[in-house]
């Protein structure tokens, strides 16, 4: 039996107010999970940020235009970086 069926079966034996508490908890988890998904979708990699800034660089000597900050757990998409470098070298 899968988890949904187990929860449904057990909930049927609970009073209505406790069933509502379970529903509230499930909705809370959905909201919590959804905000994590949204954060992951809007979070850009360091390479993506740097590449986006390149088109806006009007003063290449300005060091603030070339600084990229990443967190320790951020991953680097080497394939994207390599493709960008290859594309840049062909121009």
Compute and round to an integer the Cα radius of gyration of the chain.
24
User: How high is the pLDDT of residue 75?
Assistant: 79
Whether residue 82 has pLDDT greater than 70: yes
User: How high is the pLDDT of residue 21?
Assistant: 92
Whether residue 64 has pLDDT greater than 70: no
The average confidence (pLDDT) of the chain is: 77
The domain limits of the chain are: 3-42, 46-89
The per-residue pLDDT for range 12-50, each reduced to its tens digit, is 999 999 999 998 898 888 888 887 666 665 666 777 777
CA distances from 18 to 35, 37, 47, 56 (A): 26, 29, 49, 56
Average pLDDT over residues 84-91: 67
CA distances from 27 to 10, 30, 37, 77 (A): 18, 5, 15, 34
């Amino acid at each position: 039996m899968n988890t949904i069926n187990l929860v449904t079966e057990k909930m049927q034996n609970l009073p209505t107010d406790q069933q509502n508490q379970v529903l509230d908890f499930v909705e809370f988890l959905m909201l919590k999970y959804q905000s994590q998904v949204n954060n992951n979708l809007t979070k850009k990699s360091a390479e993506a940020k740097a590449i986006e800034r390149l088109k806006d660089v009007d003063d290449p000597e300005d060091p603030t235009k070339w600084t990229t900050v990443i967190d320790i757990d951020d991953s680097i998409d080497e394939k994207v970086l390599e493709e960008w470098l290859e594309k840049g070298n062909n121009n």
